[in-house]
């Protein structure tokens, strides 16, 4: 197979990344912008960047992803992209009529040093932004950071451009969604509704990237956080950020701008992270946890207890985004599994500290790494040194799965060789139950397929 030359030998590397566990900043900015109702993401750079970002999202979600580009040529690369962007803003409002254009930069426009604030100002001055319409932006130089950085930058941009504090405070809780699937956002909203809390979830890609086929073509789907909701986030009484890497910067900016206090917690993947989310929502909204949610929790515990012998001691290798990996690794430890190898291409101390804290007592032999050198090659090297029972991560792990004959659970971004990941949640107690069942099935199916014939059991 493709990776047959990977060996168990550890290589000291300073300047080489092989099969990175990340993608580029604008992909995240584009994804976050799609969570605003009536928003057209705009890529300020060359056409190739925009095509790549759109196709990365389309291939994962199996949905059309609309976005425009400044279409840089040699001329704009030399003289700057001002005239391209001003013209683009004019044409986009005339032809597509979005509520908001969300501009993100690319490596090229960042290297040139285009001042997007000044360009937006020029477009307004020249009358290219109709009344009641918005043009927002964030900087996403992709030679630093990852798609998670880009996502975070665009979410912070939403705060910068929209959140407004007025004397009229509202009894609402802001829920800032980290990078998760539309199904997860739908589940978060269901849980908030079940708890009878008033929340503003943003960005919100449900009903944007999981839309039904109706036979009618619409440029902008019905989902997404609306502009009035985004403006109102400045009057909410509290903010809960879900996922440190994707949302903490936005939480801080909202507190600084509108004095809305915040708590940053992990995305509610697994038992303990969901407990923390439900408790935080209950505490800050001042509402009790309803029996219906306690029962969902009970069903998850029952499933774990019934199948603990299958989970126990299984060695797992994982890769992906830190906001997903931290609660996921914690969940695997809750299941008495052994997450032994973990890599994320997104750099940051929070990941390293969280891994140390979660793994130090239960899986002291675990190896984890974050940043540019934390790539799929490194993960494969570790697996060659001592094998694992299960892989959890995006599509890029399928080569390791095939080479090493290890079952793979697809989770994260991108998943481009299977469908439906935007439909079934992994958050909340229901999501944790889905996840535990997936793990269980992967382990048992592998056992059925590979054990000696005399060991095949009808009932397991």
d(CA 26, CA 103): 10
260 touches 252 (CB < 8 A):
no
DSSP string, 237-249: SEEEEESHHHHHH
Interface with ligand SF4 in residues 89-108 (CB under 6 A): 106-107
Q: How far is the CB of 382 from ligand SF4 (least distance, A)?
A: 27
Q: How many CA atoms lie within 13 A of 285 on its CB side?
A: 24
Geometric angle at alpha carbon 411, from 410 and 412, rounded to 5°: 130
Among 45-53, 118-126, 261-269, 451-459, which window interacts with ligand SF4 (CB under 6 A)? 45-53
**Cα four-point dihedral sign 314, 385, 451, 410:** positive
- Return the H-helix or E-strand segment holding 415: none
Going by C-alpha positions, the residue among 168, 229, 238 that lies closest to residue 202 is 229
Choice from 6, 20, 22, 24 touching ligand SF4 (CB under 6 A): 24
Give the residue with the Cβ less far from ligand SF4, 26 or 234.
Answer: 26
Among 44-52, 62-70, 347-355, 399-407, which window interacts with ligand SF4 (CB under 6 A)? 44-52
Q: How far is the CB of 209 from ligand SF4 (least distance, A)?
A: 20
Q: How do beta strands 238-242 and 262-265 pair?
A: parallel
Q: How far is the CB of 26 from ligand SF4 (least distance, A)?
A: 5
Give the residue with the Cβ less far from ligand SF4, 107 or 138.
Answer: 107
Choice from 21, 30, 39, 49 touching ligand SF4 (CB under 6 A): 49
194 touches 290 (CB < 8 A):
yes
Q: How far is the CB of 33 from ligand SF4 (least distance, A)?
A: 15
Q: How far is the CB of 83 from ligand SF4 (least distance, A)?
A: 20
Per-residue contact track with ligand SF4, 143 to 182, x per CB under 6 A? ----------------------------------------
- Return the H-helix or E-strand segment holding 165: none
Choice from 3, 52, 80, 160 touching ligand SF4 (CB under 6 A): 52
Tokens of 238: 């509290």
Give the residue with the Cβ less far from ligand SF4, 15 or 452.
Answer: 15
* CA of residue 259 relative to chain centroid, distance: 26
Interface with ligand SF4 in residues 107-146 (CB under 6 A): 107, 142
Choice from 6, 22, 26, 394 touching ligand SF4 (CB under 6 A): 26
Q: Mark out the alpha helices in 172-290 (DSSP H runs).
A: 182-194, 227-232, 244-258, 271-285
Residues in the chain, total: 460
Q: How far is the CB of 104 from ligand SF4 (least distance, A)?
A: 9
**244 in contact with ligand SF4 (CB under 6 A):** no
d(CA 123, CA 293): 50
Q: What are phi and psi of 223, to 5 degrees?
A: -80, -175
Q: How many residues bind ligand SF4 (CB under 6 A)?
A: 8
Q: How far is the CB of 399 from ligand SF4 (least distance, A)?
A: 22
* Strands of the 390-393 sheet, one edge to the other: 367-370, 338-344, 315-319, 390-393, 408-410
Bridge partners (DSSP) of residue 265 are 242
d(CA 76, CA 74): 6
Token pair 């020249």: residue: 126
Q: How far is the CB of 110 from ligand SF4 (least distance, A)?
A: 8
Q: How far is the CB of 70 from ligand SF4 (least distance, A)?
A: 12
Give the residue with the Cβ less far from ligand SF4, 32 or 49.
Answer: 49
Q: How far is the CB of 23 from ligand SF4 (least distance, A)?
A: 8
Give the residue with the Cβ less far from ligand SF4, 104 or 398.
Answer: 104
Give the residue with the Cβ less far from ligand SF4, 105 or 225.
Answer: 105
d(CA 377, CA 381): 6
Binding site for ligand SF4 (CB under 6 A): 24, 26, 45, 49, 52, 106-107, 142
């Amino acid at each position: 197979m493709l990776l047959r030359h990977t060996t168990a030998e550890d290589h000291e590397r300073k300047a080489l990344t092989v099969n990175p566990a990340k993608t580029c900043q604008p992909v995240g900015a584009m994804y976050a912008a799609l969570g605003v109702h009536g928003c057209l993401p705009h890529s300020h750079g060359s056409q190739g960047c925009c095509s790549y970002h759109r196709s990365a999202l389309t291939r994962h979600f199996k949905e059309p992803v609309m976005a425009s580009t400044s279409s840089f040529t040699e001329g704009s690369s030399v003289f700057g992209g001002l005239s391209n962007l001003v013209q683009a803003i004019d044409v986009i409002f005339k032809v597509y009529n979005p509520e908001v254009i969300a501009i993100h930069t690319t490596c090229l426009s960042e290297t040139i040093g285009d001042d997007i604030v000044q360009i937006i100002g020029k477009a307004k001055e020249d009358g290219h932004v109709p009344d009641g319409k918005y043009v927002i932006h964030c900087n996403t130089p992709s030679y630093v950071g990852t798609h998670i950085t880009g996502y975070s930058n665009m979410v912070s941009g939403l705060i910068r451009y929209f959140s407004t504090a007025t004397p009229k405070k509202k009894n609402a809780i802001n829920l800032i969604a980290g990078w998760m699937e539309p199904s997860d956002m739908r589940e978060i909203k269901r849980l908030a509704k079940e708890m009878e809390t008033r929340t503003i979830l943003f960005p919100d890609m449900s009903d944007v990237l999981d839309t039904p086929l109706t036979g009618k073509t619409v440029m902008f789907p019905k989902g997404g956080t609306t502009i009035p909701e985004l403006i109102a986030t400045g009057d909410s009484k509290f903010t809960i950020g879900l996922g440190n890497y994707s949302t903490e910067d936005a939480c801080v900016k909202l507190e600084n701008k509108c004095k809305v206090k915040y708590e940053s917690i992990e995305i509610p993947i697994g038992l303990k992270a969901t407990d923390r989310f439900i408790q935080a929502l209950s505490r800050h909204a001042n509402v009790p946890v309803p029996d219906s949610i306690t029962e969902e929790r009970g069903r998850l515990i029952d499933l774990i207890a019934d199948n603990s012998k299958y989970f126990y001691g299984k060695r797992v290798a994982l890769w992906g985004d830190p906001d997903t990996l931290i609660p996921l690794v914690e969940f695997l430890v809750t299941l008495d599994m052994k997450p032994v190898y973990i890599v994320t291409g997104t750099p940051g101390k929070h990941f390293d500290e969280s891994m140390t804290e979660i793994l130090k007592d239960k899986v002291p032999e675990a190896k984890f790494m974050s940043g540019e050198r934390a790539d799929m090659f490194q993960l494969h090297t570790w697996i060659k040194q001592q094998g694992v029972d299960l892989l959890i991560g995006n599509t890029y792990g399928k080569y390791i799965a095939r080479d090493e004959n290890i079952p793979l659970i697809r989770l994260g971004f991108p998943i481009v060789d299977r469908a439906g990941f935007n439909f079934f949640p992994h958050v909340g107690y229901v999501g944790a139950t889905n996840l535990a069942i997936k793990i269980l099935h992967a382990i048992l199916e592998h056992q059925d397929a590979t054990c000696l014939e005399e060991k095949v059991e009808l009932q397991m």
